[in-house]
Structure formats: C-alpha cells, structure tokens
Structure 1
Amino acid sequence: MSAVRNVLVIGAGAAGTAAAILLAEGGVSVDLVDIKPDTGALGSGITLQGNALRVLRRLGVWEQVRAQGYGFDTLGLRAPDPNGTLVAELPDHRTGGPDLPATVGMYRPALARVLLDRAAAAGATVRFGISCTELEQDDTGVDVTFADGSTGRYDLIVGADGVRSWTRRRLGIDLDTTGVGMGIWRTFTARPASVTRTDLFYGGPCYIAGYCPTGEDSLYAYLVEDAQDRSTLSPQESLGVMRDLSTAYHGPWDDIRPLLTDPSRVNYTRFESHVLPAPWHRGRAVLIGDAAHTCPPTLAQGAAQALEDAAVLAELLLAADRLDDPLWQAFTDRRYVRAKTVVDASLQLTRWLLDRERGDVPGLMARIAHLVSEPA
C-alpha cells in the first residue's frame, strides 16, 4: 500500500509531470496544477542527457521522445576562428545505458506536451491557469485553497513550481537564488544539414556559442555573454543583438545565421543558482526540481536532475506504507548529494569561463558522467 492516497503536484514542468505520471500509474489520485495558461513555455530547445532518457523510458514516453527529438553520441569543440575549425570530436558518455543515445535534443514545448498527455493517460487530473493561495498542514493531511475558490485535502503536496517556487515561500523557506554573472541568448529555428550534434565554441565575444539539433528540421542555438540588462530591447533589437554576436562564429554558424529571422523566437535569461539544504520536505510537503536546486546549464543536467527527483520520490512513496522519517531520510540520501554535486560542477565550469581559466573541463565532465551513469 502506498504511503499516500492522494497528492497535489504544483508545477507542470518536467519534475512535476514526471511525479504525476509515476504516482498515478501506482494507483495514487493525483491533481497536477500549473499557474501558466498552457504548455507553450517560453524557450526553445532542451538538451536531454542519457540519465534523463532513462527516466523518460520509465515514464513510458521514450519512443515519442526519440521520434520527435534528435539523438546523437558525440560532442564537437570548435575554435572561434574564420573557419570555425573543429578542434575535437569527443565521444559522449551514454549515461542512460548502452541502449540509449548519449544525448537527445528536443523542442521544449513538444516534450511538455508528450509528458502532459502521458500524465492524463495515467489518470492524473491536469489543470492549467490555476494557482494555490493557501496551504495548511496538520498531522494527517494538507488543506489547499485555490485561486478560483475551490479547495482540496491531500496526503502530500509536491512543490515542483520552479526557481521562484510559491510552495517554498509558503512553507516559510528562505532560499537565496543568486546570479552567476552570465546571461544566455536562445533561439529556435530550422536545422541546416551541417548541424548533426552539439558543437561548442569557447572564446570570442561570447563565453560559449553553441547549438543543438532538436529534430530533423529544427535546432536551438545559444550564445552566452556577461549578464546584463537586456529587458529594454524590443524583439527586433534582441534578434539583431543575437545575429551580431553570432558573426564572430563560423563553420555551421554560417549556415544558422541566415535562418535567424523571427524575433518571437529569441529570448534572453540570466544564469542563476541555488541548492536548498537538506531536507527538502516540511511535514507533508516536499520540493523537487528547480524549486530545490537549480544551476547554469553548462552541464545540461537541469532536466535530468529534475526527472531523477521525481522518479526517486515516486519510487519511495509507492514502496512505503506511511510518510515517516525513514522515507524522507532515504529521499535525502539518494538525492541531495547527487544534485548538489551536479550544481557545484556546473558552477565550477562557469567560474572557469568567467575567470578565463583553462580548467580540466573534460575531467570534470567525465566525473559527472560517471556519477549520473549510476541510476539515482
């Protein structure tokens, strides 16, 4: 018998939707709510490492991800010279196992749709455009009031509501989310034939210039610069900045640049980071995903770690017969150090770039790949 009979999951990103799928499949009544009006999240593409794919297979959506995304097994390093010279082609680690690609790129809203459809098929009730306004716990459950005036009582609340989590604040948890000194331009466009994997350019006017194929006909491209206020730029001006910055990069970038024509596809965000000290629960509420830990995407592990949170939490809840200290200790033991290690490594890569220091990037990446190759 599961430790919970009914659960409210707040936040329909990767972590929340994965938790909803696994709990609903296990016979738990699940309500999944999100303040956003729909799945059309701002963004472009997402990079899914092998350990993320391992969880997606467990969720029953791997075949759809494979069909809609773009898999590859190598990473290219290129120079910011007039030819975009390929400096190295590195075999990437298949951290999800030998039968899964090392990496899949995918259009982010497409992944969201696949996961949400799976959650609904598993039996979860999904509601968008709704938020929580009150949350009151006692020894046996949690009473929740929603913005539309409706109420519910649940055995457990799962706060998967992102970096600025309402759930975290409502639980009285004070957590500093800090900028790391970098901002990133992202765009989504057509894929030229010259792009068949992620290539990274280090140096030039940007810290990183890269791209990732997200399908047979699509990719997302990104440029990482010093963090600055870009909020006053119009969409057309933002497109112009991204195009101008990209002119320093060649090779496949010369094929991508003419395709950067749609201002609505360009967005800019700053890198931020935090790790919530253990434990991540307060009574009958627990935080997962970006609500508990977030980091710059220098290792492309954000989605993977969020999915792992959800998988471990659901496994423990379905195997136990009550919420108690041993269950929460097991969750902490399996998630805290692993997630913090990934965050720390992502920040180390960021510091090396900011300081123009030649750190042991391949060694660091190999250590993290070894860590996440073992199931969480």
Structure 2
Amino acid sequence: MNAVRNVGIVGAGAAGLATAVLLAEAGTDVVVYEAKPSLGALGSGITLQGNALRALDRLGVWDEVRARSFPFDLLGIRAPGPEAPLIAEMPENKMGGPGYPSAAGMYRPDLAEILLARARALGATVRFGARVTAVSQADDAVTLTLATDAGPERATHELVVGADGLGSAVRELIGIETRPEPNGMGIFRAFVRRPAEADHLELVFGGPCYIAGFSPTGADTMYAYLVEDKQDRQDMTAAEGSRIMAELARPYGAHWNGIRAQLEQGVEHVNYTWFTSHVVAEPWNRGRVVIVGDAAHSCPPTVAQGAAQSLEDAVVLSDVLTRHDALTDEMWAEFHERRVARVTTVVEVSNRIAGWLLAHERGDVPGMHRIISDLVSREP
C-alpha cells in the first residue's frame, strides 16, 4: 500500500537521501534532484545521538555507519584555562535504546556517501546539477521546472519532497514565509587527528568562546569546534580559519594543546557557519509538496539533534506514505501530529540553552537535556 507511485525529492542531504532510501525500499519510483554538481558535504564531523543511530538502522546502514564512525558513551566537562581541570565525566543516555551507543561521531562526507550509495542500490535516481526554479501543481501531480547544464527541463511527480536545506527553494516556491534566523552565534569546525586518550565527547563552557568541544570520529580522527559571537567569515579560507581557531583556542588546555598545534600548522578541513533557528508551523505541506529537514526546522546544536530530527522526518514521512493508499487529510494529520510538536520542543530547548550561553547565565542545562532525552528516546 503506497499513497503515491513516484516521488521527486529536492535535496541530497540527510533528510532527502533518507527519504529516498525508505521510499525506494517500499517500491516507490524516486528521483532526487540536487542543485550542487556533486555530493559536496562539508568536510568536518557530525555527532549522531542514539535516536539518529536508530533511524540509520531503519535505513539499513547502521552496520556501515558503525564501521566508519567512533561510538562513545561518555561526556566530559572541563573548565576553561590552561590547566583545564576536569569538572565532570558522566555517561550519556542511550536515546536510541540499549542496542546502540549513546552517540557516534563520524566524518560528515562519509555519512553522505553511505546514504547516497544505499539510495542508488535500492533503485533511486540521484541527479546532480539539477536546480529547481519553479513548482506548479495540478489535482494529481506536481511539475518541477529544473535548471541543468543541458538547459531547462520539466519533471512531473505525484509528490514532491522539499529537503533542500536552510535556504530551501521549495519552501519559498510554495509560499511558506518562515525563514531560518541567526541566533547570534557562529561555529568553527575543524577535522583533526585524534590522540588515543580523546575517546569521548568533551566540552568546555566559557573562556573566549561560548563552547570549545571535540568529538572523536574514527580510529585516529576527530572534529573540534569553537562557538563564538557570529562574525562575517563566509569567505574564509581553510588557512585563515586554522589561524583564527588557533588564536581563539590559545586559553584552552588539556587536549586543546594538541588541537591548537595542528591548527597552527594549518588544517585542510575547516568551515564556519552561523547558528540559526526556525520551525515552520503546521502544515509543512502545500497540496502535494511537503518540506522536511532543515527546510522545515533548524536549531543551534546545543543538544546535537539537527541530523537526528531530519532523519526522523524521513522515517515518519515514509511510514505514513507507505501505510496509506492516498494523500489524504488524515495522512497529513498523522504526519504533522508525529513531527511538529516533537521538533518544536527540540528547537525550543536548543534555543533556551543557547540563550543562557549568550546571556552568560547559568541555567538548568542538565534539566533541558533530560527533557530531550525523554522525548527522543521514544520512537517518533
């Protein structure tokens, strides 16, 4: 039972490829349109909480993710300063259930490659260099106008999923006015070598940055990050980013001494982005077009749920599409009931923690994390 026979998905990020995997697995004809000429995921790391790992298992890629990531169950908190005393070391909750680690860090492009390979293996078509410029709907179909190297094209599908990220063209083309708004913070991320003893997530709050942290991603790799007041660094080169990160990291000790030494020599993979926040109010669909992932919601990564919530969108959307026999109001109501409130809570809690950091206030961060842990431990 499938509500639709063919689907066009705009965007080859986590939400788009995960949706493609699950729909193709269910026998739906799927075409993914990606504006970029190649996969092009940002070359740093990603932390996947347990509920993200549970979703990846549903996608059939957990074994490969486990082999190419670094699982951990501990969170370390250090004080700022050259001595960097350890304040606490605590086990993290297993939000995906007892069969998964609390979290896993991995190289972001590796995750993208795994999802792309899985989608193609199940029969989904993925087209790069195909940018959506217009969307038009009839009672039973959606037509996309595409800009490609060969010229403009049109493609018609029974359903279109807009999974094209923060700057979603689909969101704008279907008339949704909600946009991601910067929250005042910016983050450097650098992919660096990992010493053997840096085997779990570690955070420092305070000092010249709001947060200095790192997450292991492999046998000898990890990604380090620094959160500052947002700056205009959009055209920053990797060399410039390495230099700025090294200077910002100067007051931090412990493992940051080794990280800083690498940054001073220059690191190949450094990127910088602003934190944003938004939630599109229900409904996320306009007729036969629906948005998911970062197109529908974003939040500061203060509870590390961005990728997890995008993957959950894909799981729930695919579930309702394959259990209903038509795109009915009942089907859309079920989708929104299972997603909007859950995502909204994640965004609100993430913003609450970020707000305390921006105001240099001591808030109940453990309490906020418990709220999220209890929420996402339940299946979406």
Q: TM-score of the superposition, structure 2-length normalised?
A: 0.97
* Whole-angstrom CA distance in 1 between matches of 2:20 and 2:234: 35
Shift of 1:134: 2.1
Structure 2 counterpart of 1:140: 140
Structure 2 counterpart of 1:266: 270
Quick one: which amino acid aligns to residue 193 of structure 1?
A
Question: Partner of 2:232: helix, strand, or coil?
Answer: coil
Structure 2 counterpart of 1:129: 129
Structure 1 counterpart of 2:104: 104
Quick one: which amino acid aligns to residue 294 of structure 2?
D
* Whole-angstrom CA distance in 1 between matches of 2:168 and 2:260: 36
Structure 1 counterpart of 2:86: 86
Which of 300, 304, 320 is the equivalent residue of 1:300?
A: 304
Q: How does 1:277-356 map to 2 (within 5 A)?
A: 277-356=281-360
Structure 2 counterpart of 1:34: 34
Quick one: which amino acid aligns to residue 250 of structure 1?
G
**Structure 1 pair 233–312 and aligned structure 2 pair: CA distance change class (3 A):** closer
Q: How does 1:217-228 map to 2 (within 5 A)?
A: 217-228=220-231
Gaps of 5+ in 1: none
Residues 233-280 of structure 1 deviation map (CA, whole Å, 9 limit, x = unaligned): 554232111001111111111122222233541111111111100110
* Whole-angstrom CA distance in 1 between matches of 2:240 and 2:58: 43
Shift of 1:224: 0.4
Question: Partner of 1:225: helix, strand, or coil?
Answer: strand
1:21 matched to 2:21:
yes
Mean CA deviation greater in 5-14 or 35-44: 35-44
Quick one: which amino acid aligns to residue 215 of structure 2?
C
**What is the number of equivalent residue pairs in this alignment?**
376
* Whole-angstrom CA distance in 2 between matches of 1:144 and 1:234: 35
1:156 matched to 2:159:
yes
CA RMSD of superposed structures (Å): 1.1
Structure 1 counterpart of 2:242: 239
Shift of 1:84: 1.4
* Whole-angstrom CA distance in 2 between matches of 1:277 and 1:231: 29
Mean CA deviation greater in 232-241 or 351-360: 232-241
1:4 matched to 2:4:
yes
Structure 2 counterpart of 1:170: 173
Structure 2 counterpart of 1:252: 255
* Whole-angstrom CA distance in 2 between matches of 1:182 and 1:138: 42
Quick one: which amino acid aligns to residue 243 of structure 1?
A
Structure 2 counterpart of 1:362: 366
- Contact 2:187–2:275 (Cα < 8 Å) also in 1: yes
**Structure 1 pair 367–206 and aligned structure 2 pair: CA distance change class (3 A):** same
Structure 1 counterpart of 2:197: 194
Gaps of 5+ in 2: none
Residues 51-72 of structure 1 deviation map (CA, whole Å, 9 limit, x = unaligned): 0000100000000000000000
* Whole-angstrom CA distance in 1 between matches of 2:11 and 2:59: 17
- Contact 1:192–1:256 (Cα < 8 Å) also in 2: no
Structure 2 counterpart of 1:204: 207
Residues 316-341 of structure 1 deviation map (CA, whole Å, 9 limit, x = unaligned): 00000000100000001000000010
Q: TM-score of the superposition, structure 1-length normalised?
A: 0.98
1:58 matched to 2:62:
no
Shift of 1:129: 1.4
Quick one: which amino acid aligns to residue 307 of structure 1?
L
* Whole-angstrom CA distance in 2 between matches of 1:345 and 1:211: 22
Residues 111-154 of structure 1 deviation map (CA, whole Å, 9 limit, x = unaligned): 00000000001110011111122211011111122213332211
